[in-house]
Structure 1
Amino acid sequence: MSATAPYRSGARAGRGGFARLLRAEWTKFRTVRGWVLAMVAAALVTVLLGLLSSSGSHSSCDGVCPAVPVGPDGEAVEDKFYFAHRPLAGDGSITVRVTSMTGQIRLPDLNPGTRRVVAGVVPWAKAGIMVKESMKQGSAYAAVMVTGRHGVRMQHNFIHDTAGRPGGVSKQSPRWLRLTRSGEELTGYESADGANWTEVGTAHLAGLPAAVQVGLFAASPGGLTVTQGDFGGSSAASRFAEATAVFDKVSLRGSVGGGAWRPDDVGVTLNPDGSAHHPGGFKESGGTYSVTGVGDIAPLSDGQQIENTLTGVLTGLIVVIVVAVMFITAEYRSGLIRTTLLAGPRRGRTLVAKALAIGTVTFIAGLAAATAAVTFGKQVLRANGNHILPVTTLTELRVIVGTAVLLAAAAVLALAVGALFRRSVAAVITAIVVTVVPYILATASVLPADAARWLLRLTPAAGFAIQQSIPEYAHVLGDYAPSAGYYPLAPWAGLAVLCGYAALVLGLAVFQLRRRDA
């Protein structure tokens, strides 16, 4: 009987014992009023600074900015191009030959009042053939196109892009394009001679109606100029650009409406007098068609994003780091750590219980703060006339919950650093240096973009990637630098880096605790 008693006692320590340790750590935290008030302050400062930042963001529009189009997948899109089209009922196809693609780009003026325009096309200028659900901006579409520097592409519903053969287009080297419709399936083809065809890709447009629009289009986003600063960082400026494509050998199959082509300048910006600002154009002569367009057909990333309401998280994080460090170093300073270790002889489990307690408290506080900051921050932004780029409910939940996990993981990391150093000041400084400082350096335009990206790959600051709501798109030219809110790692991958650091340092602290206090 006596031989089995120690075994039963060990089982209770392994199961109920850890629960008792966890309750003890929670009791320690809640009975120290300063820690509780500091955690509440961290949540409040996260919300208040986020609201203050949102209240300072005023729309550049005259009044409330117009709502941006929303694509079939719920993302904000730019749907601006020139389209010469005809109705298509049911299945059918369109085949064309593209013989040239030219354009012009406006460069910065050297002298005031003197426009400087050069011939050329930007890399993602595009022209080709399209089947579009309707003329409503944001409606479903599929298109096969030639581009300025990315060869033939098939794109659909704004966010999907498939590469065809590389190379440009000219009279000496024309490109044949074909787009066929079979129900909800759109298939794109390309050919060098009009006889031998290669499939580029296939798109499934769910719910595509029987009656659609089919035709020729051209578009050109602005030319992007990224300037490196003297002390690192960069700034981006967009310059007006347009593209003109020439088509011939146009062939339509299926129930295509008769009559002339109908030209539409989709999404054209209007001047105050009602005239088109930078209009496109369409010309037809003897079976040859010329289409000129500006704008783009792509996801939109220019605008207020939900993570802009979370600017207070960085300050809140500093408060969390201080609390987490004090949660462990205060016991070393007072000598209470001996009593703690006696209550839980398995020292590693005691430290893990302490980490779980501070992580849970921080997660709950962070979740409440992030929810309030995003919810009320969006209202403030809209009240100031701003339009917020829409995201899916899952993306918004990921940003909010991920922010809470970010704070919790940083708290565990800070506690582990405190357990290693056993001194508050050194531990707080170290935790801030490895978590907060890299983020500031990477996003404040003080480092070259490549160096900033490496910081956000290799340091715990990678965890901030969880807040990015609008992804980087390979087929959209943009300034995807950290200073513009873009991270080199995917959201969950970045958070995993931070959690990995927290687990590693906690493991080192457990190992050190067992050696020093054995």
Structure 2
Amino acid sequence: MTATAPYRSPLGTAGRDGFARLVHAEWTKFRTAPGGPAGLVLAALLVVGLGLLSAAGSHASCSKGPVEVPCPVPPRGPGGEAVEDHFFFAHQPLRGDGSITVRVSAMSGRIRLPDAVPGVRNVATAMTPWARAGLMIKASTRQGASYAAVMVTAEHGVRMQHDFTEDVAGLPGKVTPSTPRWLRLTRTGDTVTGEESADGVRWTKVAAVRLPGLPAQARVGLFAASPGDVRVTGNAVGGSTVTSRFSEVTAVMDRLDVRGAGTGGAFALDDIGVSYELDGSPHHPGGFRESGGTYTITGVGDIAPLTVGSTVENTLAGAMFALVAVIVVGVLSVTAEYRRGLVRTTLLASPRRGRVLVAKAVVVLAATFAGSLAATAVTLPLAKRVLAGNGVHLLPVSALTELRVVAGVAGVLAVSAVLALAFGALLRRGAAAVIAAVAAVLVPYVLATTSVLPEPVADWLLRVTPAAGFAVQQSIPEYPQVVGHHAPAGGFYPLPPWAGFAVLCGYAALVLALAVRRLNREDA
């Protein structure tokens, strides 16, 4: 009796080798078809061309009175992030370990409102929610220098903040003459501990933080700062208008006790980060006054990460137009075979139909990602250089964040192409599939980010539709202690970067599964 080997199709029907041959066959079809490579080349050219064109047309300059001057580069914090570092600081030197204690007995503020009567200043007696005053230890008076501070705020209770990005909540409550708040900062080596008390006897630790860059001689003292009064009003079309108005805070403190080498002398006064008029006078200065052991300090500005400005993802705006090109590529990779009747031949060669569609998806995913990654990796550094030459300073981010933005945008294009392929296999009509993919990914993104919808609706769209995937390109995080308008129109997404990308991947997998189910149940 002669043994007969089992029949295997030329492409293989089982095992890794069989699927690899199937992928290779689909790749051969994809690269030899006129629409596939050409569409990816067009998408790459759109990313590069529109990105560089937009950068070349972007210019920035600032005015100092009637004079146009280059815009200043924002200071950087210890972590390399752009920061706002503008406050009034009354300080003394502290060599080595030591502590500072004070009682905050009152806080008040002013907010500049639009004039109701022309020529008559309209100033409201009020504080912004994040107006703050308290104690600070800072490496130096240079903007961006490392610091730790314990403070009372207008609406957010006691806080311990350090190095601009970190914030720890203490006990809630407001400061009034009948409910003062005691604060204490203690330095031990490179560790700074913040405490609070209602009576100066029983103390509660807010937080202990490490400041590795804190020098042996630092500056310690009293501070006050008041971010701008940000107000958001809805528009008739559904978007919103954001205004930021000048504000200042004044705090009254007493029972000051400073201990440590170098302390005990007169306070040095610095209005850190204040801007100056042409005549050399400070614009909206703070102030400090001491009388009989009572200290009154007034400050404006903020001590926080800078979250408003040009970002690295702005250089990849051409990806929105490239998205249409890769959607067409994904759809045609399937519907072209249906239109020409070649799909039956493909399924005869590999009867396990679902594997054929998965192989097509692997090819489209890999080819689109490779082409898009090359385009984004070239565009971002070139556009950054062009923007810098035009006086536009991008908010700095880490190399890992830039890598995530570059790879993430390429990933969004690649997964969107797979989603389009799945729609093509499910609907089997090219025009219908393109419309479905564009409606699923691009339309919600445009509606959510162009201020044509109320912000809750925009947030909802970017949570539950495939457009959530664009969250992967957000380079500047949202900080709860930062006063600002963090909305989709400003580049802020309701989901974390990889969570949003996972939503897009989930939709692509779902539609692909539905397409496989239809392919297995119905004739091609």
TM over 0.5: yes
Show the 5 A alignment for 1:437-476: 437-476=443-482
Could you tell me which of 204, 218, 229 is aligned with 1:223? 229
Q: Is 1:20 equivalent to 2:21 in the alignment?
A: yes
CA distance in 1, matches of 2:294, 2:331: 73
Q: State the SS of the aligned residue for 2:14.
A: helix
Q: Deviations over 1:299-323 (max 9, x none)?
A: 0012111111111111100111011
Could you tell me which of 257, 268, 276 is aligned with 2:274? 268
Q: Which amino acid aligns with 2:446?
A: I
Q: Deviations over 1:379-422 (max 9, x none)?
A: 22212211111000000000000111111110111000100000
Q: Does the CA contact (< 8 Å) of 2:9 and 2:349 recur in 1? A: no
Could you tell me which of 296, 300, 319 is aligned with 1:294? 300
Q: Which amino acid aligns with 2:284?
A: H
CA drift of 1:439 comes to 0.2
> What is the root-mean-square deviation of aligned Cα atoms in Å?
1.6
Q: Does the CA contact (< 8 Å) of 2:12 and 2:350 recur in 1? A: no
Q: Is 1:169 equivalent to 2:175 in the alignment?
A: yes
* Counterpart position of 2:417: 411
Q: Is 1:75 equivalent to 2:81 in the alignment?
A: yes
CA drift of 1:378 comes to 1.1
Q: Which amino acid aligns with 2:409?
A: T
Q: Deviations over 1:150-205 (max 9, x none)?
A: 01000000000000111110111100000111111111100000001111111111
CA distance in 1, matches of 2:128, 2:61: 27
More divergent stretch after superposition (48-57 vs 333-342): 48-57
Q: Deviations over 1:228-286 (max 9, x none)?
A: 11011112111000111111000011213342100100011111121100010010111
* Counterpart position of 2:65: none
> Are the structure 2 counterparts of residues 172 and 491 from structure 1 closer, same or farther at C-alpha, using a change threshold of 3 Å?
same
Show the 5 A alignment for 1:157-306: 157-306=163-312
Q: Which amino acid aligns with 1:291?
A: I
Q: Which amino acid aligns with 1:149?
A: E
CA distance in 2, matches of 1:225, 1:479: 8
CA distance in 1, matches of 2:240, 2:497: 23
Q: Which amino acid aligns with 1:14?
A: G
CA drift of 1:39 comes to 1.1
Q: Which amino acid aligns with 1:474?
A: P
Q: State the SS of the aligned residue for 2:97.
A: strand
Q: Is 1:41 equivalent to 2:42 in the alignment?
A: yes
CA distance in 2, matches of 1:404, 1:202: 41
CA distance in 2, matches of 1:447, 1:413: 25
CA drift of 1:11 comes to 8.2
Q: Does the CA contact (< 8 Å) of 1:229 and 1:235 recur in 2? A: yes
Q: Does the CA contact (< 8 Å) of 1:133 and 1:213 recur in 2? A: yes
Show the 5 A alignment for 1:44-123: 44-61=45-62, 62-123=68-129
Q: Does the CA contact (< 8 Å) of 1:64 and 1:386 recur in 2? A: no
* Counterpart position of 2:330: 324
CA distance in 2, matches of 1:378, 1:113: 44
CA distance in 1, matches of 2:446, 2:231: 24
How many residues in Structure 1 have an aligned counterpart in Structure 2? 518
Q: Does the CA contact (< 8 Å) of 1:155 and 1:161 recur in 2? A: yes
* Counterpart position of 1:340: 346
CA distance in 1, matches of 2:474, 2:393: 17
CA drift of 1:373 comes to 2.1
Q: TM-score, normalised by structure 1?
A: 0.97
More divergent stretch after superposition (18-27 vs 123-132): 18-27
Q: Which amino acid aligns with 1:391?
A: V
Q: Does the CA contact (< 8 Å) of 1:144 and 1:153 recur in 2? A: yes
* Counterpart position of 1:479: 485
Q: Does the CA contact (< 8 Å) of 2:327 and 2:420 recur in 1? A: yes
Q: Which amino acid aligns with 1:210?
A: A
Q: State the SS of the aligned residue for 2:96.
A: strand
| Stretches of structure 1 lacking an aligned partner (at least 5 in a row) | none
CA distance in 2, matches of 1:175, 1:40: 64
Q: Which amino acid aligns with 2:465?
A: T
CA distance in 2, matches of 1:142, 1:126: 14
* Counterpart position of 1:315: 321
CA drift of 1:57 comes to 2.4
Q: Does the CA contact (< 8 Å) of 1:63 and 1:385 recur in 2? A: no
Could you tell me which of 121, 129, 146 is aligned with 2:135? 129
CA drift of 1:222 comes to 0.5
Could you tell me which of 332, 351, 358 is aligned with 2:364? 358
Q: Which amino acid aligns with 2:179?
A: S
Q: State the SS of the aligned residue for 1:176.
A: strand
CA drift of 1:12 comes to 7.3
CA distance in 1, matches of 2:161, 2:236: 38
Q: Deviations over 1:30-82 (max 9, x none)?
A: 11233212210111111212222223322141343111111111111001100
Could you tell me which of 490, 497, 512 is aligned with 2:503? 497
CA distance in 1, matches of 2:269, 2:94: 15
